[in-house]
Amino acid sequence: MIRKIIHLDLDAFFCSVEELLDPSLKGKAFAVGGSPSGRGVITSASYAARMRGVRSAMPTREALNILPDLVLVRSGFHHYSEYSNKVMSILRNTSPIVEQVSIDEAFLDVSDMPQPIGSIAIDLQKRVCQETGLPCSLGCATSRLVAKIANDFGKKQVKTGRSPQKITIVEPGKEEEFLAPLDIQALWGVGPKTAAHLRQRGITTIGNLAALSDADLKNYFGQHGESMRRRAKGIDNSPIYSESGDPKSVSNEMTFHDDQDDKEGLIKILHSLSEKVGFRLRKAELAGSVVQIKIRYSDFSTYTRQTSMKECTNLDQEIFNEAQNLFIKHWQSGRPVRLLGVGVTNLDKPHRQLSLWGNDESKKEDLTKAVDDLRDRFGKDIIKRADTLKTKKQS
């Protein structure tokens, strides 16, 4: 059976939500982002702003230098989360096999549906727009690799200053032909540094890479050479993972707007995620003896690793200690990370052995309870550990 895979991406998602909340923004050059003072950055730019040179991840000061009349809107992440959940619900009503890869992006496997993939995509785009008011673009192909690249390609062809709302379809058997003329950096696994290195050697397109000899592939990509050739030819059998959630576990994840490769920054995020998991466990009066981490890299390859403890815990620091050890052991150093997650499973009611020689555990639990009480009264961000504060790469 030929697979039918759809990649859906909400167009300028944060800005689109802000336009729904404030219709006066529609058509204007505006951006969601931080303060122009300090290290504020643009989180999302409207298409009108993009047409005039403003880009996401650009320092806010730089954006205002380019476009002095740029309208800045503060982030409303609770609204973004609410709209994202609405969209994902629509997708899961369309197919049971949905993998959400970020707040505004997901893959669907619709292979079991009898309709042509183009018809499914058109109906899905209409439903999302009618039920949420949000514009979206879709890429359709026989694999997640080609569907994602097709969507990115299709969106870039629209240069009107408005939401693309594109549907781009790559027919079965046409994958290599579609990919061949595209810029080498469009291929998963080819970052800016690798792309620059390849261009110096005359390898500027995906087709150029697909035609490389075995020796050259090994020279450029080492043990990953053959897998890179397969990608360049559009061969990708990786499944779509449906993440419906495990009621026997508690987890938190963070998807990055820009891929992260800074070890110190990733560990601080891991600590913050561990605190959130611990807080949720304590509110549910649960503890667990297995700590898991999840790492999704920039090419969407995803790995989970876990470790078992002698006793159940719901204390932030204990969860973090195990998560950090797993991360240091398994992270492929320097490889950009798109998503990071922490989870605790094998859940039970909290219980601890009494110590004959001291009450350190009791003190930890009392301190944790005091922090939880503060967060309940004044919000989750009222108190933070110093080592979880944002790094210079986060704003």
pLDDT on residue 121: 98
- Domain at 249-388: CATH architecture: 2-Layer Sandwich (3.30)
Q: What residue ranges of the chain are covered by domains with CATH 3.40.1170.60?
A: 14-77
pTM of the predicted model as reported, rounded to 2 decimal places:
0.67
**Three-state SS for 34?**
coil
Q: What is d(CA 230, CA 340) in angstroms, rounded to the nearest whole number?
A: 27
**Three-state SS for 386?**
helix
Instruction: Show the 3-state SS of 148-176.
Output: HHHHHHHHHCCCCCCCCCCEEECCCCCHH
Helical ranges in the chain per DSSP H: 13-21, 47-50, 60-66, 77-94, 117-132, 144-156, 175-179, 192-199, 206-210, 214-221, 225-232, 263-283, 316-330, 360-378
For residue 290, the tally of other CB atoms under 10 A from its CB is 16
Q: What is d(CA 207, CA 175) in angstroms, rounded to the nearest whole number?
A: 11
Q: What is d(CA 134, CA 86) in angstroms, rounded to the nearest whole number?
A: 10
Active-site residue flag, 105: yes
Long-range contacts of range 98-101, CB-CB < 8 Å, 24 or more positions apart?
98/240, 98/242, 98/243, 99/240, 99/241, 99/242, 99/243, 100/243, 101/255, 101/296, 101/300, 101/338, 101/339
Q: Which one is catalytic: 19, 105, 275, 318?
A: 105
pLDDT on residue 212: 95
CB 20 within 8 A of CB 46: no
- Single-letter code of the amino acid located at 363: K
CATH number of 14-77, picked from 3.10.20.310, 3.40.1170.60, 3.40.50.10860, 3.60.20.10: 3.40.1170.60
Strand order in the sheet with 5-10: 98-102, 105-109, 5-10, 136-141, 167-169
- Listed residue (40, 62, 38) closest to 49, CA to CA: 62
Q: What is d(CA 207, CA 184) in angstroms, rounded to the nearest whole number?
A: 8
pLDDT on residue 362: 52
pLDDT on residue 24: 97
Listing DSSP states for 265-278 in one string gives HHHHHHHHHHHHHH
Q: What residue ranges of the chain are covered by domains with CATH 1.10.150.20?
A: 176-232
CB 161 within 8 A of CB 10: no
**Three-state SS for 17?**
helix
CB contact set of 289 (below 8 Å; sequence gap of 6+): 308, 309, 310, 311, 312, 313, 346, 348
C-alpha distances (whole Å) from 69 to each of 17, 25, 66, 129, 221 are 21, 13, 9, 29, 45
Residue-level pLDDT, tens digit, the chain, 395 residues:
799 999 999 999 999 999 999 999 999 999 998 777 767 889 899 999 999 999 988 999 999 999 999 999 998 888 998 999 999 999 999 998 998 888 899 999 999 899 999 999 999 999 999 999 999 999 999 999 999 999 999 999 998 888 999 999 999 999 999 999 999 999 988 888 889 999 999 999 999 999 999 999 998 888 888 999 999 999 998 888 775 544 477 888 887 767 888 899 899 999 999 998 998 888 878 899 999 999 988 887 888 999 999 889 999 999 999 999 999 999 988 788 988 999 998 888 876 543 444 445 555 555 565 555 554 544 444 455 555 454 434 43
pLDDT on residue 167: 98
For residue 43, the tally of other CB atoms under 10 A from its CB is 22
| CATH dotted code for 176-232 | 1.10.150.20
pLDDT on residue 76: 84
pLDDT on residue 368: 62
Q: What residue ranges of the chain are covered by domains with CATH 3.30.1490.100?
A: 249-388
